Structure 1
Amino acid sequence: MKHVMIAGATGYLGQFLCAEYQRRGWHVSALVRSAKTDASLPADAIVTAEATEPETLKGVMQGVDLVVSALGITRQTDGLSYWDVDFQANLNLLQEALASGVQHFAYVHVLNADRMADVPLVAAKSAFVHALQASTLGSTIIAPSGYFSDMEDFLKMARNGRVWLFGDGQLQINPIHGADLASAIYDAVDRKETWLDVGGPDILTHRDLAKLSFDTLGAQNRVTFLPDIFRRIALRVLLRITPRHVAGPAQFFLTAFGMHMAGRPVGTHHLAEYFQDLNSRHAE
């Protein structure tokens, strides 16, 4: 039986990755920071280590054929930076994988990273990608367009009565459900693809997202279009007046929402169904 280690296993995507590899017949080891967080993970083994501290990783990858890392931070709440986690922690994993004879390393990156080099979150991820590709280990880079959960802000705005969009609202995105992304990652690694830009089955404009949000609520479509210069101004202001843990993710999302973010369409989960489920739970 082949053996995979999932890094970032307790995150949104990590849990789907554990389930997908287990469903496909692999022995799954979930790398977690604390044993207290492992209760619901679909894994055959729980490995407790702190990836930012390389000494805790010694020997944990013995017998592992593949490492899949979804390790990264989008909310800086514990004092660690993107460079501490998205770059250095993943580099520590890579070095241990090389020392342990792991055959392949898959890493979850960001779509259009080359166009977001000035965003710290993306810069740290890209630096690790360069290190991975320069290593002797076989690798697969997966660059998703965005998650369904990232689109929840549209539904929240609609619930408050109005959706605010930058520009003409015609930029496109095809966000992807975690289960679909986990399946796409499995298939890409199995095919030994070196890079996969990927998204969900439905390519939507920002206007479409606004309409979908109001349709989900059964409410009138109320959208205000702001000149894109307001997005660019917000990017500058946020970096000056907000703390790092707020400015970091906001800079990423504001930058990403200024460009097309559509990857190869895959999967069976649709955002409309996800929104309906969210709305039903909100009404309970």
Structure 2
Amino acid sequence: MSKSILIAGASGALGFKLLKDFKSQGFKIRALTHSEEGLEKLKGEVEDIHYLDASEDKGKLEGITRDMDYVVSALGKSISLFHPDSDTFYESNYKANSHLLEDSKKYRVKKFIYVSMMGADTASDFKIPGTHRKTEKEIQNSGLNYSIIRPVGFYSGLHDLIIMARKKVIPLVGDGKAKTNSIFHGDLANFISNNFTGLPEISEIGGPKIHTREEMAVMIQEKIGGKIIKVPESIAKSGSEVPKLFAKENLGHKLDYFSYIMSNDMIGQSRGTLTFKDYLNQIDLDNIE
């Protein structure tokens, strides 16, 4: 009898790769997406698709984990500065996952795997990691077998710098010496799908190489062009407050966290094989929006 798994956020970059990986292992797949575009993307890959917003009335979600052995949640709001949306981080990162967790408890799934983010425990005063931390705590108190994955950050999360490089500016907050080992989302999906039954309760995962933020900016500069400009942390902090004055809190919170991760070391366990330089060489940079 084949094992079954619900993949929440299945149309996103990570979720879609997870779907492909688990499908190749013979799993019975159920997919959750909240966008019409995501629905169309999934139709050619899986039959059991639930198209709804998990952050809304949890009654609509009732039974979504019935007959599922496992749940992997890649639900969460984009932190891209160029990805405007109306839902809040509270709704996307916490409320949606809380509803999903409640259903998982009701139907006693064997394991709940949640993709959080590095900084959820150490930087929870910031809105974005704080909403992930709130979800983590509920999972830890759920009574379910669980694994929480905290990726350092995805290469795709640096697309904002690629977009800005095309506009001839690559901003760095602070001195650019903060270190990180961001990871390719495909490598993280492989790590999760290949190890999901044996994953520890908490894993902080990064890519194969550690770079300073300045080194990564230089790689983007060499590929695209643009001038690297270092912005003092105090100015970046002040700038993040301005959008909040004009009812653009999401953008303000994104700028807050962008400043934090650009000026603090973010290093996880080394996993995967694709380096950031190779990633830049293999993607279609002209189609990044």
After TM superposition, the score normalised by the length of structure 2 is 0.87
Q: Which amino acid aligns with 2:233?
A: D
Q: Which amino acid aligns with 2:179?
A: Q
Q: Which amino acid aligns with 1:185?
A: I
Q: Distance in 2 between matches of 1:112 and 1:271?
A: 21
After TM superposition, the score normalised by the length of structure 1 is 0.89
Map 1:101-250 onto structure 2 (within 5 A). Answer: 101-217=108-224, 222-241=227-246, 243-250=248-255
Find the residue that maps to 1:141 and give its secondary structure.
strand
Q: CA deviation digits over 1:182-209, x for unaligned, max 9?
A: 1122244221310110111121111111
Q: How many residues align?
A: 281
Contact 1:155 1:275 in 2 (8 A): no
Q: Distance in 1 between matches of 2:206 and 2:78?
A: 19
Map 1:27-46 onto structure 2 (within 5 A). Answer: 27-33=28-34, 37-41=38-42, 42-46=45-49
Q: Distance in 2 between matches of 1:248 and 1:266?
A: 29
Q: CA deviation digits over 1:226-272, x for unaligned, max 9?
A: 33322233334443346123223222222222211121111122221
Deviation at 1:282, TM superposition (A): 5.6
- Over the aligned positions, Cα root-mean-square deviation in angstroms equals 2.4
Change (3 A) 1:36 1:203: closer
Q: Distance in 1 between matches of 2:206 and 2:47?
A: 29
- Higher mean alpha-carbon deviation, 244-253 vs 129-138, is at 244-253
The answer to whether 1:254 aligns with 2:259 is yes
Unaligned runs of 5+ in 2: none
Deviation at 1:55, TM superposition (A): 0.8
Find the residue that maps to 2:41 and give its secondary structure.
coil
**Percent identity among equivalent residues?**
26
Find the residue that maps to 2:200 and give its secondary structure.
coil
Contact 1:17 1:182 in 2 (8 A): yes
Q: Distance in 1 between matches of 2:23 and 2:84?
A: 31
Q: Distance in 2 between matches of 1:81 and 1:226?
A: 27
In structure 1, the partner of 2:6 is 5
Deviation at 1:162, TM superposition (A): 4.1
- Higher mean alpha-carbon deviation, 270-279 vs 95-104, is at 270-279
Q: Which amino acid aligns with 1:63?
A: D
Q: Distance in 2 between matches of 1:78 and 1:171?
A: 29
Change (3 A) 1:63 1:249: same
Q: CA deviation digits over 1:30-54, x for unaligned, max 9?
A: 0123566333333352123431221
The answer to whether 1:267 aligns with 2:272 is yes
